[in-house]
Structure 1
Amino acid sequence: MLRPRRLLLFLASIVLAAQYAAGLVTPSLASAPRDGTTAADALYKKLNGDYLSTFNSELEPVLIFLPSTSADVAKFVKCVQPLVGLGLVYIAVRGGGQQPTPACNNVAQGVTVDLRNMAGITVNPTANSVTLETGVRWGTVYQILQPLGLGVAGGRSNTNGVGGLVLSGGLSFFSSREGFITDNVINFEVVLASGQVVTADPWTNADLYKAMRGGGNNFGIMTKVTMRTFQQGSLYGGSVFYPPQSFPSQVDAILSELNSPTTSETHLMVSVAYSKRFEAFGGTVGLNQVYYTAPTAEPPQILEPFTDVQPQFDVLDSMRNMTLIDAANELTTPNTNDQRVAYMNLHVKMGSATLKSASDIYLAGIKPLLDVQNITLSFTFQPHAVSLFEKTSNNDGNGLGLGPSNGPIMSVLLLAWWDNPGDDGLVLGTGKSILEQIRSEASARGTLIPFIYMDYAFNDQDVIGSYGSGNKKFLQTVSKRYDSRGLFQTGVPGGWKVLV
C-alpha cells in the first residue's frame, strides 16, 4: 500500500500524464525506481545521481519532471498548484545541480523539476546580448560565444548551471570589471506561481526584475535570461602552488593590489588547501588562482606578487595566456558526484590583522579533520573591489543590498569534500565552529560585513537576512505580490526563503 504522500504524488503524476497525453505538451517524466531493472529506473538513477554533492543525490523525489519549454513549466505549475497549496506536494527546481547545499535543488518524496532539456542559446549581435534557457551550462555558452570574439559574465566552471548563479548573484572572471553575474541581466522570463509566463526587466515588472537579481528561488521558475555580452579576447591566468608558510605574504599582496588602477581587470582567489593528493608537497599547500582579463602579450605586472611568490611547486603551476573556455575548464571541479560537499562563507572589511587572524584560526581549527577519509579542505580569500560594487546600481540595483560604499571587501570561503555520511557531524560542526570564531574575531575588530553570498552558503546561514532589513522587506513585498499563496515559500522548501 502506498504511503499517503506517495499516493498523492502518484495521483498528481496521473493528472500530469493525462494532460500531456491530451497533446498539450510532451515533456518527459521519470518516477522513483522500483526494482532498478527497467529503462525508466536507469533513467531515474542517472538523473538523480547527477548532482555536485551526495547531499542532494541521496534525496529521492517520487517524480522527476523534465520540461522542454516554458509552456511545459507553466502547465506543470498550474497542475500541481492545488496540491502544493494544500501542503500535499513539495517541489524542487534544478538547473545544473551544482549548488551543494542540502535540498536546494532536489526534494525527498516530492517532485523535482529538472530543466536540463531547456538548453537553448540565442546570440543577438546587434543588441550585444545572448538569451539563455535555464538548463544550459556555462561551458556550452562559452563554446558559442568565444568563436564570435564575445564574452559574458558567467560561471567560472564549465559545469556550472546558468540558473543558480544568476539568481544568487554570481561571480565570474570578469566581476571586478562587470559586477556580479546578475548585474549583467537584461531581462528574465519567469513562470509565476499562477502558471503565468511573464517578462521582468527595468520597464516591465521592474520590482520582480530587481528581486530576482540575487533573491534566489523565491519568486518563480526562471526559464530564460537575456545577458549582456561584450568583446573579449584571451585572458592571462592560471594557478600557482606554494608552501603555506608564504600565505600571509599573499594577504598583503591582495591589500596592495586593490589600490591599483588596473584592479578592475583582475580576478583573484588566494587559498590554503589540504588534501591527500598533496602528500608529496606536505599535504597543505598555498594556491593562487589569478587572472587578468584585458589583452596582454606579457605577464601583467599587477599579478607578479601572486605569480612570483617563492618557493613554488613548479610542477603544478599553470600560468599562461588562455581562452575563456580554457579558464573555465581549469576550474571545473573533478567529478564529485559521489562525495559530500559543503560551502560556508562570510565577508569582512579589508585589513591585514583580520585576514591573517582568520587564516590562523582556520589552520588550527581543521586539525581534527585531517584523518577524515578522502577529505579535501580549502580556505579561500576572494577580494571584491570597489569597481565590482559600482556595477550593482545598474538598472536600479540588484537584490543583494550592496553598493560602492561597501567595497572593497573580502569573501572568506570554507569548502570541504569528503566521502562518508558518518563524518558529516564532525566536518560540518568543525567548519561552523571555525566560521563562528572568524566571525567573532572580525566583529570584535569592527571589520565584519553582514553579507553572506548565497551560492557559497550552507543552508543554516541567514542569507536573506544578511542583505539588510530594508532589502529583506523589499524581497518579502515582491514575494507576496507575485506569489500571494506562498507556493515558492512553502511548496519549494529548498534554498533561502524571504518569508522566514
Structure 2
Amino acid sequence: MGYKRLTTATLFARLLSGVLGLGPGGEENGSIGGEDPLSGLARRGIHSARLNELYFRAPSGETCDCSLACSILTTEFGKQQVSTADDSDDPSGGYAAAQSRFWSTQQAQTRPACFFRPRSASDVSALVLVARAASCPFAAKGGGHAAFPGSSNSDGGITVDFAPHMAQVVPSADRRTVSIGPGNTWLHVYETLAPHNLSVVGGRVASVGVSGLLLGGGLSFFTGQYGWACDNVVNYEVVLASGEVVDVSADSPSYADLFWALKGGGGNFGVVTRFDVRAFEQGPLMWGGDIRYEFHSSRKAVASAVARFAEGDGGHGGGDPKAHMIASYAYAQAWDMWITSLMLDHADPLLLPENEGGHPAAFDDFVLADPAPLHSTLRTNSLANLTLDVDATSPFGFRNSYWTLTTGVDAQLLDDMAEVFVQEVAPLKGVRDVIPAISFQVVTRSQRAAMARAGGANANANALGVGGEGQEPLLLFVVSLRWALEEDDEAVLTACRNIVERSEALAKERGLDHPYLWYVYSEQQSFLYQESLFQDVFTGYGPENKQRLIEIAEKHDPTGVFQKLHPGHFKLNGAPAVWKY
C-alpha cells in the first residue's frame, strides 16, 4: 500500500478544517495522531495562517503535500536547517552533501523532498506536526548505517538528519549516566568519554549511529559484563505522534510500558531525541584486534573454538565476561582467496612487558599455531581505535545487504553453514567489488543473564525475548554482502536468501532453530520490482512480546503515525508501505 498524494483542493480542505477545528463534514477534527496538528503548530508559533499562505503560493494542480511541508520547514527554520534538491545556495553544505552521508548506495540513491536538521526536541515536534498536517512521510537518520533503502532516508518525504546539531555527549555530575544525542556516532561518543575514563555499552563500528543500535538491541564489547546496549538506557526523551515531548523511564507514571517497548522496538513509537545511558569506569586502553587465517585449513578448528567459547561461557576452561569474539568467513576478491577473520577483544589491556605478543586466556582456542596467521592486529589499544579497525572493513559507497538467523550452538552446524556459504557465493566471484561474508557471534549464558540483571527485578526487561538466567547460549548468524552495481542485485540478494533458508533448514533438522532475528542485521528490500524480501523481526521476539508491542503502539499512537507516515526500518505488522515520490 502506498501513500495517496494530496491534490491542492484536498490539501486546502484539510488546512481549512484545521483552521476551523472541524472535519470535512463539520464534525470535530479527528486528525491522525490525536490533536489536530495545526493546533499543535499554532501553539509552537507556526500558525495555520502561514500554512494557508504557503498553500496559495503553490502552482495550480501541483502535488504539494511534501513540497508544502518542506516549504513550511524552510520558512520557519531557514536554509541552515532545511535542504532541498534545488537549493544551489544552501549554506549548510547542500542536499548532495547530505545524500553522501549514507553508508549504503541503496540509501544514498534514495531522494527525499528535503533534509531537515533539527537543533532540539522542539524542532522535531514541529517536524512531526508538519508531516502530519501535510500527510508527508518522514524518516529519522542518526548515523545512516542501515543497508536497505528507506530505512533512514525517506523517498520523496522528509529525512530528519540529527547529525549536525543533535550530537551532544554529556556525562552526569555523578558519572553514573551519559546523555547522548541521536546524531552521534559511536566513535564520537567514545572519544568524548575517554578523557573522563568513562564508557557506555555501545556499538563496535566507528561510523554506526547511536539511535538504530540502541533502539534495536545492540551487542557491544561490554555485553558480557553489562547486558545489551538497550538494557543500559535509563531514560529516553521522546517526541510522540501528538508532538508532545516526554521523558520515558521505568518510573514514568504514564510511560513505563513505552520504556520497555523502546528496548528493541525500533522507531515504532516516537522519535527519540535523547538517550540517557548508564556509564561505567573504563580506562583509556583495552586489548583486541583482528587475526586472519586461510579459510579451508582453519574452518573446522574455528567452528570448534566457537562452540567451546559458548560452552565455557566466554572462554574455554572458564567464563570471562570481559571477553568478546566474532568469527567471520569471507571471500577476498582482490586475492581470489577464502579467509577466516577473528575479531577478539577484551575489556582489560595487557600492559606487562612479559605479555608482549600474548593474549587473554579466553582466546586460547582462537590463536592458532597451525595454520599460521596470515595477518594480525591483536594489541593493546583504545576503544575508539578498535572501532575504527572494524569500520575500515566496511567503507561507505557500496551496495550492501545484511541477513540474520539465530540457532543453538553446535560446531558441526556452524561448519555446515560455512559450506552452504561457499556453495552459494562461489558463482558471485566475478561480481564487481563483491565481498561476501558470514559471521558468528555467541550470546553466552552470562550475556543472557546480564540482560535480566540490567532490568533489576524484571527479567523481561526488554522486548527482544532472549534474556534471562539459566538460558542456553545462542549463535547469531549474519550474512553480509557488498557489491558495486545495481544490475547484480538479483544475483546477490538471491544468494543471500538461499544461504539463510538453507542454513535455517539445517538448524531445524537438528532441533537447533530459534525464532529470534537480530533487528540491526535483518533485511527487507525488493529487487527488480518483482519480489519483496522481508525478515519479520518482531515475530521473532515471540508472540507475547509482539502483541505487547502492538498494544503499546496503539495506546501511545492510536492513529498509527509511526506505522504509516514513518515507514522506515521494521514495522510491527509486517513489511512497511513504500512511498514513491
Cα deviation per residue 1:195-229 (whole Å; 9 max; x = unaligned)?
00111111011111110011011000000001111
Deviation at 1:159, TM superposition (A): 0.9
Distance 1:3 1:268 in 2: 61
| Candidates 76, 82, 85, aligned match of 1:29 | 82
Q: For residue 410 of structure 2, what is the aligned residue in structure 1? A: 351
Change (3 A) 1:369 1:11: same
| Candidates 193, 217, 223, aligned match of 1:169 | 217
Tell me if the contact between 1:257 and 1:263 (Cα under 8 Å) persists in the aligned partners: no
Cα deviation per residue 1:228-271 (whole Å; 9 max; x = unaligned)?
11111322211111111211111111221221433311111111
Deviation at 1:3, TM superposition (A): 11
Distance 2:59 2:438 in 1: 46
Tell me if the contact between 2:81 and 2:92 (Cα under 8 Å) persists in the aligned partners: no
* Bigger Rg, structure 1 or 2: 2
Q: For residue 496 of structure 1, what is the aligned residue in structure 2? A: 570
Distance 2:238 2:440 in 1: 34
Letter in 2 for 1:237: G
Identity of aligned residues (%): 28
Deviation at 1:442, TM superposition (A): 0.5
Cα deviation per residue 1:66-121 (whole Å; 9 max; x = unaligned)?
1011111011112222333xxxx111111110111221101111111111120111
Cα deviation per residue 1:334-367 (whole Å; 9 max; x = unaligned)?
5733210111010100112211111111111111
Distance 1:383 1:27 in 2: 45
Q: For residue 143 of structure 2, what is the aligned residue in structure 1? A: 96
Distance 1:39 1:125 in 2: 39
Change (3 A) 1:409 1:14: same
Aligned: 1:310 with 2:370: yes
Aligned: 1:291 with 2:355: no
Aligned: 1:73 with 2:124: yes
Aligned: 1:275 with 2:275: no
Q: For residue 430 of structure 1, what is the aligned residue in structure 2? A: 495
Q: For residue 236 of structure 1, what is the aligned residue in structure 2? A: 287
Deviation at 1:9, TM superposition (A): 1.6
Q: For residue 68 of structure 2, what is the aligned residue in structure 1? A: 11
Tell me if the contact between 2:349 and 2:381 (Cα under 8 Å) persists in the aligned partners: no
Structure 2: 5+ residue runs without aligned partners? 1-57, 525-533, 575-581
Tell me if the contact between 2:402 and 2:522 (Cα under 8 Å) persists in the aligned partners: yes
Deviation at 1:406, TM superposition (A): 4.3
Q: For residue 39 of structure 2, what is the aligned residue in structure 1? A: none
Letter in 2 for 1:193: A
SS at match of 2:564: helix
Letter in 1 for 2:176: N
Q: For residue 301 of structure 1, what is the aligned residue in structure 2? A: 361
Q: For residue 308 of structure 2, what is the aligned residue in structure 1? A: 256
Deviation at 1:125, TM superposition (A): 4.6
SS at match of 2:476: strand
Distance 1:377 1:198 in 2: 43
Tell me if the contact between 1:53 and 1:340 (Cα under 8 Å) persists in the aligned partners: yes
Tell me if the contact between 2:80 and 2:92 (Cα under 8 Å) persists in the aligned partners: no
Deviation at 1:20, TM superposition (A): 3.9
Deviation at 1:312, TM superposition (A): 3.0
Letter in 1 for 2:403: M
Report 1:50-129 matches (<5 A): 50-84=101-135, 89-116=136-163, 117-129=165-177
Deviation at 1:127, TM superposition (A): 4.7
Distance 1:362 1:418 in 2: 16
Letter in 2 for 1:400: L
Change (3 A) 1:18 1:50: closer
Letter in 2 for 1:97: G
Deviation at 1:40, TM superposition (A): 6.5
Deviation at 1:122, TM superposition (A): 0.7
SS at match of 2:413: helix
Q: Which moved more, 1:222-231 or 1:172-181?
A: 172-181
Distance 2:554 2:175 in 1: 33
Q: For residue 421 of structure 1, what is the aligned residue in structure 2? A: 486
Distance 2:213 2:223 in 1: 13
Aligned: 1:207 with 2:257: yes
SS at match of 2:238: strand
RMSD: 2.0
Deviation at 1:467, TM superposition (A): 0.4
Change (3 A) 1:41 1:264: closer
Q: For residue 505 of structure 2, what is the aligned residue in structure 1? A: 440
| Candidates 225, 236, 242, aligned match of 1:194 | 242
Q: TM-score, normalised by structure 2?
A: 0.80
SS at match of 1:213: coil
Q: For residue 399 of structure 1, what is the aligned residue in structure 2? A: 463
Q: For residue 390 of structure 1, what is the aligned residue in structure 2? A: 449
SS at match of 2:205: coil
Structure 1: 5+ residue runs without aligned partners? none
Cα deviation per residue 1:158-193 (whole Å; 9 max; x = unaligned)?
111110100010111111222111011111111000
Instruction: Count how many residue pairs are aligned between Structure 1 and Structure 2.
Output: 486
Tell me if the contact between 1:372 and 1:423 (Cα under 8 Å) persists in the aligned partners: yes
Distance 1:42 1:231 in 2: 38
Q: TM-score, normalised by structure 1?
A: 0.93
Tell me if the contact between 1:101 and 1:457 (Cα under 8 Å) persists in the aligned partners: no
Q: Which moved more, 1:290-299 or 1:231-240?
A: 290-299
Change (3 A) 1:150 1:104: same
Letter in 2 for 1:104: S
Q: For residue 142 of structure 1, what is the aligned residue in structure 2? A: 190
| Candidates 462, 468, 472, aligned match of 2:536 | 462
Q: Which moved more, 1:203-212 or 1:249-258?
A: 249-258
Change (3 A) 1:19 1:264: same
Deviation at 1:42, TM superposition (A): 5.9
Tell me if the contact between 2:131 and 2:137 (Cα under 8 Å) persists in the aligned partners: no
